[in-house]
Structure formats: structure tokens, C-alpha cells
Amino acid sequence: MTNTITNPVLETIKNRRSTRAFTDQPVTRAELDAILSAGCWAPSGHGHQGWHFSALTTAEHTARMAAAVRTALDLPESYCFYGAPCHIIVSYEATHQHAWLDGTAAVENMLLAAESLGLAACWINQIRVCCDDPAVRALLTEYGIPQDHTVIASIALGHGAAITAPKPRREGVITIVE
Ligand SMILES: Cc1cc2nc3c(=O)[nH]c(=O)nc-3n(C[C@H](O)[C@H](O)[C@H](O)COP(=O)(O)O)c2cc1C
């Protein structure tokens, strides 16, 4: 799809990549606050905003979370959220009708906010898959995720250590009716 109009927001949307290699450089508190705020400004059905965002900002907490997920899903020893220095867990009231829609809108807002700040990020699916495993749930509770929430996704966040090439976008998915 080619288009003739561009602006900083459209550039950010196009430049965002899933990054899977990070440097040790930490995410500053100001950057993290800006990204979490972008999550809070996502649209939500009826404006319900039934989400919660927990940000793990130390290697120790991230490693504990990765280890619990690794054990729950029988993943290889190397599994570590790509070594990102920060990890944001997005959860939502599990039984709410818009949980997945609202939650994923918040995830995308934060991915775009990260890109706009020159940071790198990757959507992570595995905590979602095993969030009701007892050991994973215990850790989620310790990290502030409410008991009645399900995990929507998490985000590995930091400074990219490698440039990710864009995946070609599928053709033929747009119909313009005039
Ligand atoms: C629902 C969903 C789950 C994903 N889970 C993972 C994941 O667990 N690990 C990962 O490396 N990437 C994950 N991704 C990222 C996709 O692989 C990525 O968006 C896709 O390959 C397109 O690349 P791009 O994000 O650079 O455009 C996920 C993306 C979505 C939307």
C-alpha cells in the first residue's frame, strides 16, 4: 500500500518494529512514565479502562518472571524476554467483555510511544498463556496484577541492539468503496 501523506505519527507507526535484541542501557523513569501514560490514553469500550500496567524495572524482577514462565511452559533455559531491561505486563479484568480489545489497544499505544521515544520493544505472548499457573500467578500478584485480571500481553522494552528489517505487508487487504 503506497500513500502520499506522511507526518510524525504515521512515520512512527511505519517505523515500529518488533525488536528482539537489547543493550543494557536502562529505560529512564521519564521514558517509562511517558509510555505507561500512552497506555492509559488508549481507547476503551464505554471508557471503562479496566486495565492494569505493571512495569518490572530491574534485571532481578524480569529474571524471576521469565524463570516462572519458563518453568510453566517448559521453555528453554535461554528464555529471558530477549534480555530487555524493562518489562511491562498489561492485564485486564478477566470477565469484562472488552478485555482483549481494550487491553490490546493499550499495548499498541505503548509500542508506538516507545518507538516515538527512540526505544525498542517487542510484544510478548507467553505470560498471557500461563498467567493462571500457580507459580506465575503468585509472582503476578507480588508485582501488583489484581487477582481478577487476566494477562493480555507483555512488552519487552529497552534500547535496540540490532536493526530489525520490516516484514513486508500483505497486499490485497484493503477495499475502498466509492
Ligand atoms: C498477539 C501477538 C503476539 C505476539 N507474540 C510475540 C512473542 O511472544 N514473541 C515475539 O518475539 N514476538 C511476538 N509478537 C510480535 C510479532 O511476531 C510481530 O509483530 C510480527 O512478526 C510483525 O513484525 P513487526 O512487529 O516488526 O511489524 C506478537 C505479536 C502479536 C500481535
pLDDT in tens, 61-117: 999 999 999 999 999 999 999 999 999 999 999 999 999 999 999 999 999 999 999
* Axis-axis angle for helices 29-40, 99-116 (nearest 10): 140
The three cell numbers of residue 169 are 505487508
How far, in Å, CA of 171 to CA of 153, rounded? Answer: 27
Say what the pTM is. 0.97
pLDDT at 2 over 90: no
Question: CB burial class (10 A; 0-12, 13-18, 19+) of residue 102?
Answer: buried
Which residue CA neighbors atom 25 of ligand 1 most closely? 18
Task: Give Cα separations from 99 to 9, 133, 139 (angstroms).
Answer: 26, 20, 21
Question: What mean pLDDT comes out for the span 154-171?
Answer: 94
Condensed to tens digits (0 to 9), the pLDDT of residues 74-83 reads 999 999 999 9
Q: What is the mean pLDDT of residues 44-51?
A: 98
Atom of ligand 1 nearest to the CA of 17: 26
> Which grid coordinates belong to 79?
528464555
- Residue 112 confidence (pLDDT): 98
Structural domains present in the chain? 8-158 (3.40.109.10)
18 CA to centre of ligand 1 in angstroms: 6
Ligand 1 pocket: which of 125, 154, 164 to mutate (most atoms within 8 A of CB): 125
The answer, yes or no, to whether residue 163 has pLDDT greater than 90, is no
Q: Is 95 in the pocket of ligand 1 (CB under 6 A)?
A: no
